[in-house]
Amino acid sequence: MSPGRDPARVDAVFAALADGTRRTVLRSVVEQGPVTATELASDLPISRQAVAKHLHILDEAGLVHATKEGRETRFEASTASLRPATEWIAATDAAWTHRLGRLKRRVEGS
């Protein structure tokens, strides 16, 4: 099953991005990556352990990818998982726009 057809994958992305701190962590990984949890924590107002927890959730959602380099784990953005979520948003927006258009035509008597 492709990621675009996997509701669980889309749910994981939305769940991961529902938290503002995780969005901040992801943005930092996108801007700085590959980066360690320690490096991220030095720029954020949360502990290294909290950053690691957020990175784990982002990794499970497929939004970051971890690579071991010696004793360090580096994280890099893997935004391919965003595609199914953005496709879902676009499809929902299109359906809603279509529905509002039908309502507008009905109200205007066209």
**Under a CB-based contact definition with an 8 Å cutoff, are residues 61 and 16 in contact?**
yes
Give the chain's residues under pLDDT 70. 1-5, 110
- Report the number of distinct structural domains present in the chain: 1
Q: Tokens at residue 49, please?
A: 């352990």
pLDDT value, residue 7: 82
pLDDT value, residue 110: 64
pLDDT digits over 38-53, tens only?
Answer: 999 999 999 999 999 9
Read off the CATH number of the domain in which 84 is found: 1.10.10.10
**Under a CB-based contact definition with an 8 Å cutoff, are residues 55 and 37 in contact?**
yes
The 10 Å Cβ neighbour count of residue 54 is 24
Expressed as residue numbers, the domain containing 53 is: 3-108
- The rounded distance, in Å, linking the Cα atoms of 57 and 103 is 41
- The rounded distance, in Å, linking the Cα atoms of 34 and 68 is 11
CA 24 to chain centre: 11
* pTM attached to this predicted model: 0.79
Give strand ranges (E) for 32-90: 64-69, 72-77
pLDDT value, residue 81: 87
